[in-house]
Amino acid sequence: MRILHLDSSHEMRGGQWQVLRLMEGLRRESIDCTLLSPRSSPLWDKARALHLDVQPLGPWAVHRLSRQADLIHAHDARAHTLAAVLAGAPLVVSRRVAFPIRSRWKYRHASRYAAVSQFVKGILMEGGVPEDKVSVVYDGVPLGEPAAGGETVVAPASGDPRKGTALALEATRRAGVDLLLSRDLESDLADAGLFLYLTHSEGLGSAILMAMAAGVPVIASNVGGIPEIVRHRDNGWLAENEPEAIAAAIRELLSDRPLARALAARARQTVAENFSLDQMIHSTIHLYRQVLSC
């Protein structure tokens, strides 16, 4: 099986980490993969460091290499467009975002969609994609040693207006604590006492899974696909997007450390049982085989 992966992002966000981990897993399964990515993007650099086959993304490369592949896997919207126009092999598209479909033409040009959550699957179906063309493939994250923990409240740094950076800053101000806006979650979660993931739109939230895997208590917005991974006061805390409600949750979890530790322990168990790397990789391989057997 030869898979051509396409990712056009110039940032290293949750989707790009999933591409990288998927390609590593496929290599372990002896599946031949090539990645087309913008030259010197963070994903390009990390893929090269891992000795994965990565080449510069462009229309000619998509046209040429897609005709040498058994299947193309597009991982973001621009990659989907390029593949829809130029692909010479069956196309699988990962859909991670929670906003409605804008181009019905483009969404007719794929053999199968890998929705990151049941919520996103519903959005695809509302946009006219047949249910039998959508499979839910949840993100997977590594489950290493739990973080040592600390007092730092961490949230992902983002310039995306759909994300809740301003809300996180206001909530932590009201709670009387400092906020670290992180561009390197894998490093910063090691010293975190609490992780905030606030957003107005979300397909799933792989950064939440990273914090859960690290054993860091999570407060997250009750929107989109997030309730598929966070259960309120069981393995995390779901909050409405109101500064005072979020501030109250921050104060409670920072003052009630036994509760915070219990949520974090159950969160790690949730990741181990439902959101492991192996599950994500094997679900994706199963999807590929379904497409190629048609």
pLDDT at 103: 78
Query: The domain spanning residue 252 has which CATH number?
Result: 3.40.50.2000
With 0-12 / 13-18 / 19 or more C-beta atoms within 10 angstroms meaning exposed / middle / buried, residue 215 is buried
Mean pLDDT, the chain, integer: 94
pLDDT greater than 90 at residue 104:
no
Give Cα 168 to chain centroid, integer Å: 20
| Pairing mode of beta strands 54-56, 32-37 | parallel
Distance CA 54, CA 270 (A): 33
Do 24 and 36 lie in one domain? The reply is yes
> What is the number of domains present in the chain?
2
**Which range marks the domain in which residue 130 is found?**
2-140+276-293
Do 164 and 280 lie in one domain? The reply is no
Residue 145 located in a structural domain: no
Average pLDDT over residues 18-30: 96
pTM recorded for the entire structure: 0.91
Whether the Cβ atoms of residue 32 and residue 23 lie closer than 8 Å to each other = no
3-state SS, residue 160: coil
Write out pLDDT tens, residues 52-89: 999 999 999 999 999 999 999 999 999 999 999 998 89
Do 107 and 11 lie in one domain? The reply is yes
